[in-house]
Structure 1
Amino acid sequence: MNREKTEKFGLNLSIFVTLFMSALGIGFGVSIQSEAILLDGFFNVVGFLMALITLGVSWLQKQPENEYFNFGYSSFIPLVNLIKGLLISLLSLFALTSAITAILHGGRNLNANVAVIYALIAATGCLVTALIQKRIAKKTRSIMIEVDAKNWLINGLISLSVGAAFTIIIFIKNTTLSWFIPYADSTLVIIIVLITIPVPIKVIIDSLKQLLLASPSVKTKKEIKQLFETATHSFHLEKYWLRMTQIGNTIFVSIYWLLPPEYNLNGVEDLDHIREEVSQVIHQNYPDLIIDIIFTKDSKWAEDISLQKKQTLS
């Protein structure tokens, strides 16, 4: 329950800060005609809308499975992250096109002093929020909060870049470089987009992998395998086949356990005991993991099932 409250606090925090940053960015951007600041503001508008949806999905994934969703609602998490990544990418491409067009038409002038004030306020708010969300993500292991923390970091870096660029504009105003001032805002937008676009693209790729039931990261797979081997060192195990996929925060693991031919089974209770011991060890590091262990003495049966499982998840 404490974990759920912490995650909900992170989502609510994101909603309120995003709403404030959206109003701040659009207000300043319109008043001084800055595309860079408007881009920052619209990033936050997207973030605000997605934060509302994420809050709803956070509640939904805690609901019990039903006839139509036998495995619960975990798949909604990568779906939301995919939409968020696509929206930010499309917004970035739109801003890039607009900035290039502005440069080709002579650029535009703006009030750099006011822009610096905005940048200081926005950068402080975004980076502090990113730090808080990162700590919450580490504590709760929430992928939604983790993605949110990355988005706040992007917004913070954008605001810092805006502040630094407009500070430079103030200093070159009365120099031979003053000709560049009308192009500074659009140039900054292009640089920001090129630097930050890899982040939403990575979110899109990771979300698609989860929706397509791909395996989790190499690091996660390696850690779970090591935990399993540690947990089974005192049990009879001739060979095993391990398959896993990740959907949202939940990792699904299927283990096919080949028992030695000489192993004498006293009862189903023996297998339940093994399953309980192994599950406890892995759950200490991965509390959102769902594990199925299938025991057999027939290696051919295990290999056939493992092959079918592999084809299903590939």
Structure 2
Amino acid sequence: MLRASIAATVFFSLLGICFGIISGSFSIVFDGVYSLVDACMSLLSLVVARLIAAAAAIKPVSKKLQERFSMGLWHLEPMVLCLNGTLLVSVATYALFNAVGSILDGGRELEFGWAILYTLVTLIACVVMASVEKNANEKINSDFVALDIKGWIMAGAITAALLIAFIFGYLVQGTRLEWVSPYIDPVILAAVCVIIIPLPISTIRQALADIFLVTPADLKEHVEEVAKAFKEKHGLVSYRAYVARMGRCREIEIYFIVPPDAPSRTIQEWDALREEVGEMIGDKGPDRWLTVVFTGDPEWAE
């Protein structure tokens, strides 16, 4: 999905830059630059996704990769998502300032015919790509693909707004409203930027929460319920639970305090108890990092 998205995005970004120069539309040039930035970030996302899959595999592809990143590479995912969202916001903010400056300077003239042709073709492509990726991500369930879908939706929204504005500009040529045509390009660009700038904010906020290991409330509540039920079932003294999220990875550490007079158990019995905890938590897979410790000394759990 990401490879197909990258190829399509690069093609339409270069097409947009060329058509923007030909038509004299800064909004189309912005559309091309925005798409090019998105393509670069999608390429980086693809590399990171492959690295995460390779590091989390039961038999890692690269032994050196496993040795250098023994705790996995899940932490790269929120870092890339944060960088991606920040770049998209930055590009849109820069375009907004340019649009405002152009409005104050009296707008700009452009060739509406070329502009309409480009936006029509690009809008169709955005709708097709977003639909295909959305259907595929129902099975993949990837944050990277989800963000890429948002990118196509945002690009489609930009293009649709441009198309409407350019058609209006074309229709007012030779009428008493022709004086507004130089302002159409910068005004619609400014409006689009104001709309799309807040869209990646939620992604940036979640990525920062993952980077700083902010405890996810829902996962913490679930693990606490499991640990409490397990403690009461097996007559343990207490427990300590620690959880964090890094991208798609869920890190869970649970320390159970065993009574001093507890009967001795074999390694197989302790492992069976750990397996029971794992089954109660659920969501078993390569993206769950679970550590279950039994100790008689509370200091080991702090």
Secondary structure of the corresponding residue to residue 198 of structure 1: coil
1:225 deviates by 5.6
- Separation of aligned partners in 2, 1:277 and 1:177: 74
Partner of residue 59, structure 1:
50
- Separation of aligned partners in 1, 2:167 and 2:220: 47
Against the structure 1 CA distance between its residues 174 and 83, is the aligned structure 2 distance closer, same or farther, given a 3 Å change threshold? Answer: same
Partner of residue 159, structure 1:
159
Secondary structure of the corresponding residue to residue 157 of structure 1: helix
The answer to whether the 8 Å contact 1:283/1:289 transfers is: no
One-letter code aligned to 2:38: G
Partner of residue 243, structure 2:
244
1:247-298 Cα distance to aligned partner (Å, 9 max, x none): 2221111122345778645323233123223324544476511111122455
Against the structure 1 CA distance between its residues 277 and 128, is the aligned structure 2 distance closer, same or farther, given a 3 Å change threshold? Answer: farther
The answer to whether the 8 Å contact 1:236/1:260 transfers is: no
The answer to whether the 8 Å contact 2:19/2:115 transfers is: yes
One-letter code aligned to 1:269: Q
Quick one: which of 21, 31, 36 aligns to 2:12? 21
- Separation of aligned partners in 1, 2:4 and 2:235: 48
- Separation of aligned partners in 2, 1:96 and 1:163: 18
Partner of residue 3, structure 1:
none
1:20 deviates by 1.8
Partner of residue 253, structure 2:
254
Superposition pairs for residues 69-84 of structure 1, below 5 Å?
69-84=69-84
In structure 2, the gaps of 5 or more residues are none
The answer to whether the 8 Å contact 1:85/1:200 transfers is: yes
The answer to whether the 8 Å contact 2:169/2:184 transfers is: yes
The answer to whether the 8 Å contact 1:231/1:281 transfers is: no
1:174 deviates by 4.7
Partner of residue 180, structure 1:
180
- Separation of aligned partners in 1, 2:111 and 2:30: 17
1:193 aligns with 2:193: yes
Secondary structure of the corresponding residue to residue 49 of structure 1: helix
Secondary structure of the corresponding residue to residue 132 of structure 1: helix
Against the structure 1 CA distance between its residues 196 and 69, is the aligned structure 2 distance closer, same or farther, given a 3 Å change threshold? Answer: same
The answer to whether the 8 Å contact 1:231/1:278 transfers is: no
In structure 1, the gaps of 5 or more residues are 1-9, 306-314
Against the structure 1 CA distance between its residues 293 and 237, is the aligned structure 2 distance closer, same or farther, given a 3 Å change threshold? Answer: farther
1:48 aligns with 2:47: no
One-letter code aligned to 1:213: L
One-letter code aligned to 2:234: H
The answer to whether the 8 Å contact 2:227/2:241 transfers is: no
Query: TM-score, normalization: structure 1?
Result: 0.80
One-letter code aligned to 1:254: E
One-letter code aligned to 2:293: I
One-letter code aligned to 1:248: G
One-letter code aligned to 1:97: F
Against the structure 1 CA distance between its residues 262 and 150, is the aligned structure 2 distance closer, same or farther, given a 3 Å change threshold? Answer: farther
Secondary structure of the corresponding residue to residue 234 of structure 2: coil
1:175 deviates by 4.5
Partner of residue 7, structure 1:
none
1:228-252 Cα distance to aligned partner (Å, 9 max, x none): 4798599426554332112222111
- Separation of aligned partners in 2, 1:225 and 1:121: 53
Query: Higher mean Cα deviation, 101-110 or 229-238?
Result: 229-238
- Separation of aligned partners in 2, 1:211 and 1:243: 16
Partner of residue 277, structure 1:
276
CA RMSD of aligned residues (A): 2.9
Partner of residue 292, structure 2:
293
- Give the share of equivalent positions with the same residue, in percent: 30
- Separation of aligned partners in 1, 2:179 and 2:259: 80
Secondary structure of the corresponding residue to residue 214 of structure 1: coil
- Separation of aligned partners in 1, 2:206 and 2:133: 19
Against the structure 1 CA distance between its residues 22 and 289, is the aligned structure 2 distance closer, same or farther, given a 3 Å change threshold? Answer: same
Against the structure 1 CA distance between its residues 136 and 181, is the aligned structure 2 distance closer, same or farther, given a 3 Å change threshold? Answer: same
1:68 deviates by 3.7
1:150-175 Cα distance to aligned partner (Å, 9 max, x none): 22221111111112222333344454
How many residue pairs end up in the alignment?
A: 292
Superposition pairs for residues 129-140 of structure 1, below 5 Å?
129-140=129-140
